[in-house]
Structure 1
């Protein structure tokens, strides 16, 4: 009964909103232990977040329940110069998000684990107040930075439930699989300018339509091996999660409202250098190119909503995650990490990415775990993503029949503070 209630709470809380935009729109890590180590987790087996990291790790986790939440604070800004009355500068008012996580694992036998991980993705959560562009430029009243009326922004929430099975194929080697069951919702506001001049294939379903929902599926598979008493390795692959279309926004996203989660894979190694000091290194690849609505260039000469219609122009990215762990005492373990990822946004696509300025590349993290007398754990983590910006030529005039002109800049930095409590059973 306790498990059922906690799971229901996590599912409902997850729908409240997620705003991760650290490695593209993926989180830098899943589970507070991984987050304290820059996200390095592929060769680690410390908690029940294998469904988000490496399903094979659950075979070594034991019986446990992990419940956590992150207070995530992204700071986004967009500006334009060189276009006279179309110039402006505005900060996103969406600055704080509470993002829950949940993991449960049960050793069905000494060699088989059954569990579930619940986690979220996001990153396209912006809210810019209107009135940034002078009246008369976009219409009778002052417009927003993309020449629409009222506030400008998008809100994307993705919740993923990952039931997990892991099996030890040998005493120190395991494989695992997690079917991925996804729910997402989306809304856009303030894009009225793109409903004009035959820009969209379906202008009635492009902006200010409220939330729309869709469901999707995929799979994550993994391997983990303890190749020596001090060295572990891991690998995991997640297929593209195929979702139903956002019908209310089929005039905005390519493929008539398509918005899938891209395939990704990760490799990792962990070295227990001394009895109290561990180093972990992960490599991750996210293939945004497999999702047209994310990868298509914003300069594509096609209508919004078409198969080859303009998108956000996000490129595939490589990510490196380095973490260290120091066992200060029997009760206290300290962590630190660094995460470096490519910026998926190129200068040519700055205009569209005013809506989703996922520009950060470098993250520093800290964390600790305190083990209570009962054996349960309290874990906290902190992350700072350093400010980064992208500057490019505005394509806003092109959508009004002119040529690209003026300069736009999008920028972001982030902080997050998370807490997790874990019950060992």
Structure 2
């Protein structure tokens, strides 16, 4: 248990000191390095205790183990402004190039029916850092960008109410940090210009819940799963109540999904997930660019993000008794509409397609190590009348791709 507590402490400290950057909007494309190797298919494809982050009912099937890992993100993000009398040009947002997201989880069967555990993981985030500010010509000063990071601590309990079926509940205890710089040129549009930009880091907390179900059928050849994550109502970012709608509100949207995993042969398992994230329900994220209402008010401008569906497929092949190989592909809807690209210069989360490869090496009967690599394919969203007339008109075009590398260690008791 000493090892578990040490890993927990290190995980908390590392996550709190790290920015995060995600790929399906600002959520992670997969929770746990093993799941990342399958492009995130994990609602019915249970690998380890990180199942709590996707479907906590998987606790009933993973046994007792501790998992520690880290994922390195290398995003390439940029903006291009065209047809503007003021700010035409190319703008590089890669002031910071690498981001580390740790993960820690533990699962423990209490008896034949009850299993408990916890997971600590980065839910997602967004980061841009423009040394040459796209907003300088609009009156802003200094480097521009934002940094949002979110971390969850999720204790969970699963109940195997039948030999082949389980239900579970987990709490989502959330801590988040945010900082914005170089957008003071929007001061005349804010209800509180003194709490709009360059106020340093601010933080807030919130709590929600996650529900899960799983079942195994046809002699365990077919596994089905379903999960629901509630909206997390968070405290406000008081230092940015002149930026975010609802006086600095920034809640976490609800999400839900279903999945299936089929053991095609004793060595080959195929999996698929379908998920949905309701970004539009969060005013600071979903409100469209609206200059008739002051920034920070209930109807003030947000990023104009749409709800998205996510489709994932993955395959796991037991190549040898010690080596498992993984691959996967995922696609998500575009959260950013072409007429909403101007403010999203700060948050160009436009990637839609991910290709993943992974592997696990069994060291002995208790230990294994895993690696996963994901390429988030480059995507560009071209603006359509996206810069308001009172900012001179024109269009902002957004572009992003990512390289993602994960490493993890598991110990099974």
**Aligned residues of 1:20 and 1:121 also touching (Cα < 8 A):** no
User: How far 1:124 moved relative to its partner?
Assistant: 1.9
Q: 350, 367, 376: which is aligned to 1:376?
A: 367
Question: Which residue in the other structure is 1:135 paired with?
Answer: none
Structure 1 stretch displaced more, 114-123 or 6-15: 114-123
Structure 2 residue 399 is the aligned partner of structure 1 residue 408: no
Question: Which residue in the other structure is 2:119 paired with?
Answer: 117
Provide the rounded CA distance (Å) in 2 between the counterparts of 1:245 and 1:163. Answer: 24
Structure 2 residue 410 is the aligned partner of structure 1 residue 422: yes
Q: Deviations over 1:227-249 (max 9, x none)?
A: 22200100000000110000000
Q: Secondary structure at the match of 1:84?
A: coil
Structure 2 residue 204 is the aligned partner of structure 1 residue 245: no
User: How far 1:82 moved relative to its partner?
Assistant: 1.7
Q: 259, 272, 281: which is aligned to 1:290?
A: 281
**Aligned residues of 1:245 and 1:258 also touching (Cα < 8 A):** yes
Return closer, same or farther for 1:131/1:232 CA change in 2, 3 Å cut-off. Answer: closer
Provide the rounded CA distance (Å) in 2 between the counterparts of 1:243 and 1:269. Answer: 32
**Aligned residues of 1:215 and 1:243 also touching (Cα < 8 A):** yes
CA-based RMSD = 1.4
Question: Which residue in the other structure is 2:108 paired with?
Answer: 106
User: How far 1:6 moved relative to its partner?
Assistant: 1.0
Q: Deviations over 1:257-280 (max 9, x none)?
A: 000010000100000000000100
User: How far 1:21 moved relative to its partner?
Assistant: 2.5
Return closer, same or farther for 1:111/1:300 CA change in 2, 3 Å cut-off. Answer: farther
Mapping 1:55-70, distance limit 5 Å: 55-70=56-71
Question: Which residue in the other structure is 2:148 paired with?
Answer: 156
Structure 2 residue 136 is the aligned partner of structure 1 residue 144: yes
Question: Which residue in the other structure is 2:55 paired with?
Answer: 54
**Aligned residues of 1:350 and 1:394 also touching (Cα < 8 A):** no
Q: 160, 167, 177: which is aligned to 1:185?
A: 177
Q: Secondary structure at the match of 2:261?
A: strand
Provide the rounded CA distance (Å) in 2 between the counterparts of 1:145 and 1:28. Answer: 35
Provide the rounded CA distance (Å) in 2 between the counterparts of 1:145 and 1:175. Answer: 55
Provide the rounded CA distance (Å) in 2 between the counterparts of 1:403 and 1:95. Answer: 30
Structure 2 residue 193 is the aligned partner of structure 1 residue 203: yes
Provide the rounded CA distance (Å) in 2 between the counterparts of 1:253 and 1:85. Answer: 26
Q: Secondary structure at the match of 1:204?
A: helix
Mapping 1:21-36, distance limit 5 Å: 21-36=22-37
Question: Which residue in the other structure is 2:186 paired with?
Answer: 194
Instruction: Show structure 1 runs of 4+ deviating over 6 A.
Output: none
Provide the rounded CA distance (Å) in 2 between the counterparts of 1:206 and 1:131. Answer: 16
Question: Which residue in the other structure is 1:136 paired with?
Answer: none
Return closer, same or farther for 1:167/1:10 CA change in 2, 3 Å cut-off. Answer: same
User: How far 1:221 moved relative to its partner?
Assistant: 0.4
Q: TM-score, normalised by structure 1?
A: 0.94
Provide the rounded CA distance (Å) in 2 between the counterparts of 1:108 and 1:183. Answer: 29
Provide the rounded CA distance (Å) in 2 between the counterparts of 1:308 and 1:25. Answer: 22
Provide the rounded CA distance (Å) in 1 between the counterparts of 2:20 and 2:400. Answer: 13
Return closer, same or farther for 1:69/1:346 CA change in 2, 3 Å cut-off. Answer: same
Q: Secondary structure at the match of 2:136?
A: coil
User: How far 1:90 moved relative to its partner?
Assistant: 1.4
Question: Which residue in the other structure is 1:140 paired with?
Answer: none
Structure 2 residue 168 is the aligned partner of structure 1 residue 176: yes
**Aligned residues of 1:393 and 1:405 also touching (Cα < 8 A):** no
Q: Deviations over 1:21-77 (max 9, x none)?
A: 311100110011110001101012220012211010001110000000011111000
Return closer, same or farther for 1:325/1:145 CA change in 2, 3 Å cut-off. Answer: farther
Question: Which residue in the other structure is 2:203 paired with?
Answer: 213
**Aligned residues of 2:338 and 2:386 also touching (Cα < 8 A):** no
Provide the rounded CA distance (Å) in 2 between the counterparts of 1:395 and 1:335. Answer: 41
Equivalent pairs counted in the alignment come to: 410
**Aligned residues of 2:138 and 2:391 also touching (Cα < 8 A):** no
Provide the rounded CA distance (Å) in 1 between the counterparts of 2:202 and 2:391. Answer: 33
Structure 1 alignment gaps of length 5 or more? 133-142
Structure 2 residue 218 is the aligned partner of structure 1 residue 228: yes
User: How far 1:84 moved relative to its partner?
Assistant: 3.2
User: How far 1:162 moved relative to its partner?
Assistant: 0.4
Provide the rounded CA distance (Å) in 2 between the counterparts of 1:410 and 1:63. Answer: 45
Provide the rounded CA distance (Å) in 1 between the counterparts of 2:43 and 2:20. Answer: 23
Q: Deviations over 1:94-142 (max 9, x none)?
A: 220011011100111121111001111233211001366xxxxxxxxxx
Structure 2 residue 252 is the aligned partner of structure 1 residue 264: no
